[in-house]
Structure 1
């Protein structure tokens, strides 16, 4: 069925794009500064991630932009190459590599991430959002909103920053965040959200308007509480469209023959692709309509985005789960919302930069609190626990690993545990031995590999003398040669133990007893 972009979905997409814009604005700026890059480079990446990648992507809900997971890599790469312009050239090459990966259908690798790890990643990001916004909610804005790693640039960590925020809070920030949160929660109520009039404007926008008004009111009734520039959004000064050219940086390909240059380009391409595929699958799982996004096409879209971003001075672009979550929870129906958020970044940064620079960070913290809660609700932990330890333990390990390291390292640790439990589950279920009145049924199920050799040998050795044994492989799709040898050895020695063996459902001939 053809999607109607300008029918009933238009209103929902426009509302969602506003919320995503409010989430993306401080993150674009924060990630750029944390990466050691010009602030405008983050906004350029956000604009391209929305308009270019959003247009080319096959995903209905995913939103792209500069990613916090690449912050350390970008910072190290700029330092290693020496200039930001040389790094931009590496971003261009990384984009071309992603294009090649997409055309080679490498996106299929995204389907092999365990569900428990994906769910753990989403929940961990939700918890990180909540924890990282506590200082901003209290008016302690020493660290940037885009800094998502546990250990930060100033040698502090997530929890020490919260402790400092409690000690040195700004009293004016607290009423703003409380009012903003109250408005967001109020406008999220179904009766209000679906109302013909009240539902036209998302609660996040009302929260931002209230935050600006309260802070301006402080200047009249309580000047000591008024939040200054340190606690507000800070967008580079762009008075008109022609001023954009002065903020655009072009790449320098002077090191294209260097091994270090290509190592950085390949690293950015691979890490950006992995983060994109993870976010893409996570977005599909959260999509209320459960639509599947073409992963290889996504790599092509990301490759085009990164090539252009590098050419005009932007940071590397990936699909970003925070923006995607904000998009989905705000009711987005199609990819028009992602494209519109990019247009809003472009138009509003030029048109009303002075007004945007009045937005308190504590107010935006309330918006991110709500996004974080959607990702890490208590019911999610209960639901994963009910699935059993094979799902719950990798889920929890992924959460803890991401919380105390960063996204990429945490995902790697989670993947190791996830794969271990997948192997363990198959290891346990591939071979079963049941006994009834002296008759033993040995069933081989699914794929039986050398990993099942030891438990199979142990179970066969425990069968007492004089028993009747049925070896059944009717449900086995593949039986490893090592397993065949174990079964043949058992049959050969069965006569010595007075064991009668019956063979059922094997696609090859076992030795007769």
Structure 2
């Protein structure tokens, strides 16, 4: 064993591992539900994320498993591909691509996505998750059925409302501090089971029908455990749509993992740093194995990782132990898990979705200015009305557009002063002047009045596009002569070409290296 998995580490990690298990169990089931996948697929992903990724990663406190950020992609992919088995094939492709990204040392890929687009993506995912839970809240099959009051199941509405109240108030009540180690999501699941079992025992009309409960395979012996596995459709490797989904999952899962690792390293009480390239490889192996056994794609997850740190976890052993507990739960508690009302999980996911898309996030980006707010809100809206990849690509396009606009505005400045009764204009060039700035500079130069003095300051300039340089030379040789403009230049890397008859222009060149 490594130092991170010796007996002392295992002993200290038992309690944090148990806490993470209690947090992860309802989330694994709930995220599978939000993804339109079999509930057991979420637990399989959690087991492999804990045990396999936990052992392969060198992150000491992060915990991997099914992620809310992938739920919208998976839901759309299952619908588009037509089967869960084809999604599993896409998961294998995603895992292989992540391993390749790890070997290509792409662990810094998340740094190239602006925070406005990432937060917009997460907010859009949150709203999609929240909307998708509404049929479960009212006990109907589709959103349109909510319009018919007769089809609404009062029992599911009551359990959802009570579950939301517990989730919101659990950590705010004084008496719950004595059992603060119990996560609110677990309490919601237990209360939902107890209430519905009471209704069933008393034959109440509020009792929830079996189709509105969790359904995972059960077995009488360990030899029957293979019944829980669903295997990929190998024919999917010849399907271009499957490869597209696999690429999408690889990109989004990698970005979400890297962002989580960055956040988790900050939470690490020992301030250790994770090798992000090794993390991508570990996630890739985890996703391949999970998909081979019928599990959902996974990422490193902030909620479980922060729960681990808050519970005192400082070794990777706690992530492994939580995965072992999930495995034990599947083997020994499948009958209990099948008693969980889907409405209880819907309440957990509603709060997860709200936390991703809460108004405070929108207000935060509004205060950061239009250059941040517009890419955020465009990404947010497009993720909701189209799909995640389209939304992110459009958001990136808008973000790049604002970057270009900012570059155009900041590449130069024009100041005006009066010296000895003569107008003096100073054109100051920034460190980089690209061809995108050509039109703006041309407009400012050609708007100069006759008989003025223009000083072109290039002392800070490190790069200028040849088109802009030729524009300045043309202005000096033609327009400046026509308008009797006196020009001085400083700081250019090369001499400005001036025609011999420009006697009215004084050029002061200072070469910079």
TM-score (norm: length of structure 1): 0.81
Find the aligned partners of 1:250 and 1:299 in 2 and give their Cα distance: 24
SS at match of 2:289: helix
String of CA shifts for 1:151-207, please: whole Å, max 9, x gaps.
xxxxxxxx646x4486622111222222222222222339677x4x32121122222
Find the aligned partners of 2:159 and 2:87 in 1 and give their Cα distance: 39
- In structure 2, relative to structure 1, the CA distance for the partners of 1:285 and 1:303 (3 Å cut) is closer
Find the aligned partners of 1:249 and 1:6 in 2 and give their Cα distance: 32
1:227 aligns with 2:208: yes
SS at match of 1:289: helix
Please, which of 438, 448, 453 is the counterpart of residue 453 of structure 1? 438
1:510 aligns with 2:496: yes
- In structure 2, relative to structure 1, the CA distance for the partners of 1:284 and 1:439 (3 Å cut) is farther
- In structure 2, relative to structure 1, the CA distance for the partners of 1:413 and 1:504 (3 Å cut) is same
Q: Which residue number in structure 2 is paired with residue 364 of structure 1? A: 345
Please, which of 159, 169, 193 is the counterpart of residue 176 of structure 1? 159
SS at match of 2:492: coil
1:18 aligns with 2:42: no
- In structure 2, relative to structure 1, the CA distance for the partners of 1:290 and 1:475 (3 Å cut) is farther
Q: Is the 8 A contact 2:106 2:277 kept in 1?
A: yes
Q: How many residues align?
A: 478
Find the aligned partners of 1:428 and 1:246 in 2 and give their Cα distance: 63
Shift of 1:5: 6.5
Find the aligned partners of 2:154 and 2:219 in 1 and give their Cα distance: 31
Find the aligned partners of 2:65 and 2:373 in 1 and give their Cα distance: 29
Please, which of 357, 360, 379 is the counterpart of residue 379 of structure 1? 360
SS at match of 1:200: coil
Shift of 1:52: 1.9
Greater radius of gyration (CA): 2
- In structure 2, relative to structure 1, the CA distance for the partners of 1:71 and 1:127 (3 Å cut) is closer
Find the aligned partners of 1:219 and 1:249 in 2 and give their Cα distance: 32
Q: Is the 8 A contact 2:30 2:348 kept in 1?
A: no
Q: Give structure 2 stretches of 5+ with no counterpart.
A: 499-506, 508-513
Please, which of 270, 289, 299 is the counterpart of residue 266 of structure 2? 289
Shift of 1:27: 2.6
Q: Which residue number in structure 1 is paired with residue 511 of structure 2? A: none
Please, which of 487, 492, 505 is the counterpart of residue 477 of structure 2? 492
Shift of 1:269: 4.2
Q: Is the 8 A contact 2:89 2:291 kept in 1?
A: yes
Alignment of 1:42-57 (within 5 A): 42-57=42-57
TM-score (norm: length of structure 2): 0.81
SS at match of 1:435: strand
Shift of 1:22: 0.8
Find the aligned partners of 1:71 and 1:180 in 2 and give their Cα distance: 24
SS at match of 1:63: strand
SS at match of 1:175: helix
1:279 aligns with 2:256: yes
SS at match of 2:458: strand
String of CA shifts for 1:425-470, please: whole Å, max 9, x gaps.
2222222222233222222224321111111111111111222222
68-77 or 170-179, which deviates more: 68-77
- In structure 2, relative to structure 1, the CA distance for the partners of 1:12 and 1:474 (3 Å cut) is farther
- In structure 2, relative to structure 1, the CA distance for the partners of 1:368 and 1:97 (3 Å cut) is closer
Alignment of 1:389-408 (within 5 A): 389-408=370-389
Q: Which residue number in structure 1 is paired with residue 399 of structure 2? A: 418
Shift of 1:395: 0.7
Q: Is the 8 A contact 1:325 1:371 kept in 2?
A: no
Root mean square deviation of aligned Cα: 3.5
- In structure 2, relative to structure 1, the CA distance for the partners of 1:93 and 1:116 (3 Å cut) is closer
SS at match of 1:442: strand
Alignment of 1:312-331 (within 5 A): 313-315=293-295, 317-319=297-299, 324-325=302-303, 327-328=305-306
Find the aligned partners of 1:301 and 1:166 in 2 and give their Cα distance: 49
- In structure 2, relative to structure 1, the CA distance for the partners of 1:221 and 1:363 (3 Å cut) is same
- In structure 2, relative to structure 1, the CA distance for the partners of 1:343 and 1:417 (3 Å cut) is farther
SS at match of 2:66: strand
Find the aligned partners of 2:62 and 2:232 in 1 and give their Cα distance: 31
Please, which of 452, 468, 472 is the counterpart of residue 483 of structure 1? 468
String of CA shifts for 1:279-313, please: whole Å, max 9, x gaps.
135435765937876543333122212332344x3
458-467 or 130-139, which deviates more: 130-139
Q: Give structure 1 stretches of 5+ with no counterpart.
A: 144-158
